[in-house]
A and B are shown apart, each in its own frame.
Chain A
Amino acid sequence: MGVRISVKQPDRAELATLGVARPAGAAEADVPDAAPLMRIRPARGRARLHLGELWSYRELLYFLAWRDVKVRYKQATLGVAWVILQPILTVTLFTILFGRLLKAPSEGVPYAVFVFAALLPWQLFATALNQSGNSLVVNQQLITKVYFPRILLPVASVLAGLIDFGVAFLVLLVLLFYYGIVPSAAVALLPLFLLAALGTGLAAGLWLSALNARYRDVQHLLPFLTQFWFFATPIAYSSTLVPESWRTVLGLNPMAGVAEGFRWALLGQELTVGPLILVSVGLSTALLVGGLLYFLRMETTFADVV
């Protein structure tokens, strides 16, 4: 046998007197008798959403969303001012282009307000789609080094967009006040439409992020998809431009219902596109459930493929 190897470790009293870092008050790790048992088995059967586990990770969800918000404006000189500037510039452009030059009908309200009311949920959706669609790829360092429910990443990206939405919403309120527009009782349904916008954004984000993890082509597709989807949504125009018999078909785009819903809830007009909204919300729900199932099925492989 070789030289005796010293495997003696200093005992605790020794360490303490020598001033080796040891947190005060961190005595024995308290292992309760009923310590949680974690079972790791090969993937099989149906993917399930572990709500209890998700709840225990709520703080991490908050920190991830907080990081996304913080980082986005950290290096910008104008910082949070961008949140206000972006919608104002877009609305100004649209008002000149469509409102003045093309004279698009705006249902009796000033065109700027007409566009802004629909642009608001659209921007929330577009940010959600892009940020959450890229969330797994951007965070691949995390995915391969630490465990947490992967769904936190796309969800955090969607939630981070709410800050921008909140600020832009205040701008809209100022605009409504300026033009003296009073919402009808339908405004009570606004949270529902907000939820639909978030849900649709999350649905798209879940599908796209899971696909993006495996097929990087998705990240090149995202800008086109967003642009295409924007023009397929009645934001710069009213869905009443579409012949009545086709209007419900427009609802196959879940964002059409959200855009029209926002206008209806905020601008105090009569409801002309009820079926469209219903189709949209239904479809959005289906898309979300499908996205969730797909994401959970792929979740266990992300660390291997991303």
Chain B
Amino acid sequence: MSTVAIRVQGLGKHYRLGHQQPYDTLRDALTSIARTRLASLRQATGAVEPGQSTKEAIWALRDVSFSVEQGEVVGIIGRNGAGKSTLLKVLSRITLPTEGEVDIRGRVKSLLEVGTGFHHELTGLENIYLSGAILGMRKKEIDRKLDEIVAFAEVDRFIDTPVKRYSSGMQVRLAFAVAAHLEPEVLLVDEVLAVGDARFQRKCLAKMEDVGQHGRTVLFVSHNTAAITRLCPRAVLLDEGRVVQDGPSHEVVGVYLRSDLGTRAAREWPDPDTAPGDEVVRLCAVRVRGADGEISDALDIRHPIRIEMEYEVLRPGEVLVPNLHFTNEEGVYVFVAADFHDPEWRGRRRQPGRYVSTATIPQNFLAEGGILVGAAITSFNPDTVHLYEREAVAFHVLDSLEGDAARGEFAGQMPGVVRPLLPWTTELVREGGPS
């Protein structure tokens, strides 16, 4: 029998800008500052009556209703400022709603930030107790889990060193280790995996998958749609404080990605004036397609990925080389691919017209994670870059746990920017014990 763990009914949260600002991230803070500046500028030029700008109000959440069964793991997605963080703040009682109601059954712990309550003057050990207590752990519970926390954080040698002497990576590991050992019935997690190195992020993801499988109810906010589809069977899409879509996460993520809310698997420049390019060639569109030809930004590692560039040649006579630049989430330049080899166009001058060039990334090549694609068109002799759109499109590679990809049935962290499925051979060259 299932019971409702979280019931949200008609929830609304109202903020007055200029007077009180919900700073969630630096980016939010900066846009908010920009907005305030703009408002005061308008005020100074007389476009707005004085006082009006300071009373500007926004609904960070409005008419939000959904319920979560006990044991369900639900992802919350949406772009910056969609209300994701505000929702978690209301659910974790940090701020009160303006209207509506929430009922939560079970002990709630929330993790809105890694390292809440850490004090840099205190030692690692002291911080484990302080942070644990702040996150809602009993002292006895911390005593019991201490060894495990220290081992998870991989900081055992430095446990009596003040954390101000830790590297930032160590601080994050220690902070997350404390948080990872919470045992609530309802866990609310904000985008906390945006920090730390990739290897530790994977370890945390594994730990959270683990949490989700212990009958706990988890609400998980993230920009990382790959993580959402992997961790959460169900997702809720928020936009401008309202629920846009609620359902199986691959469907909701699909809606998010196809809409202009998410990272883009396809981008078009319909307006020639704003399109990247020069008098020779102009970019029209860049698209990411899966094996079946559909535009998608969540792609299975076991299938080829096609990147398509559509462009308009305006002036005849140039030998054009389309090229694509691939960068991963950690900013590692994975590779660049240029079309020097197409037998039909190699060394051939282009006539004006519309062209589509497609590059196919083989299956079992890129490691799982986000990839940012830059699109450029170059000609040589003299070397000229006609256009270079650095963040043209983006997609996520999803690894498979079904045993037929490079990771086999291994569910742990696999480092590296590529993940090829290599042919292996093993021969028994001599039988018996050592000779």
Closest residue on chain A to residue B99 by CB atoms: A42
Q: Is the CB of B116 within 8 A of A3?
A: no
Tally of contact residues, B, Cβ under 8 A: 87
Complex interface residues of chain B between 199 and 231 (CB less than 8 A to chain A): 203, 206-207, 209-210, 212-216, 229-231
CB contacts (< 8 Å) of A18 on chain B: these are: 409-412
- In the bound complex, what is the Cα–Cα distance between A181 and B398 (angstroms)? 80
Using known A-B contacts A7-B250, A8-B401, determine if residue A31 contacts B185 with beta carbons closer than 8 Å: yes
Among A127-135, A145-153, A268-276, the one that faces the other chain is A145-153
Closest residue on chain B to residue A72 by CB atoms: B121
Among B236-244, B296-304, B339-347, the one that faces the other chain is B296-304
Q: Is the CB of A9 within 8 A of B209?
A: yes
CB contacts (< 8 Å) of B292 on chain A: these are: 1-3
One of B22, B145, B181, B213 near A304 (C-beta < 8 A): B22
CB contacts (< 8 Å) of B98 on chain A: these are: 42
User: Is B91 an interface residue when CB atoms closer than 8 A count as contact?
Assistant: yes
User: Is B402 an interface residue when CB atoms closer than 8 A count as contact?
Assistant: yes
Using known A-B contacts A9-B209, A37-B105, determine if residue A59 contacts B70 with beta carbons closer than 8 Å: no
Q: Is the CB of B122 within 8 A of A67?
A: yes
Tally of contact residues, A, Cβ under 8 A: 56
CB contacts (< 8 Å) of A40 on chain B: these are: 90-91, 93, 96-97, 101-104
Q: Is the CB of B133 within 8 A of A303?
A: no
- In the bound complex, what is the Cα–Cα distance between A63 and B137 (angstroms)? 11
> What distance in Å separates the Cβ of A277 from its nearest Cβ neighbour in chain B?
39
CB contacts (< 8 Å) of B207 on chain A: these are: 20-22
Q: Is the CB of B181 within 8 A of A23?
A: yes
- In the bound complex, what is the Cα–Cα distance between A42 and B70 (angstroms)? 24
CB contacts (< 8 Å) of B89 on chain A: these are: 144, 303
CB contacts (< 8 Å) of B136 on chain A: these are: 148
User: Is A70 an interface residue when CB atoms closer than 8 A count as contact?
Assistant: yes
Closest residue on chain B to residue A14 by CB atoms: B411
- In the bound complex, what is the Cα–Cα distance between A303 and B102 (angstroms)? 18
CB contacts (< 8 Å) of B185 on chain A: these are: 29, 31, 35
Q: Is the CB of B103 within 8 A of A5?
A: no
One of B102, B117, B130, B410 near A146 (C-beta < 8 A): B117
Interface residues of B (CB under 8 A from A): 15, 20, 22, 70, 89-108, 110, 112-113, 116-117, 119, 121-122, 126, 129-130, 133-136, 138-139, 145, 148, 152, 162, 180-181, 183-185, 203, 206-207, 209-210, 212-216, 229-231, 233, 249-250, 253-254, 290-292, 294-296, 298-300, 303, 398-402, 409-412
Can you report 17 A-B residue pairs in the complex whose CB atoms are below 8 A from each other? Answer: A1-B294, A2-B292, A2-B294, A2-B295, A6-B400, A20-B207, A21-B180, A21-B203, A38-B103, A41-B97, A41-B102, A59-B138, A66-B130, A70-B122, A71-B119, A74-B162, A304-B20
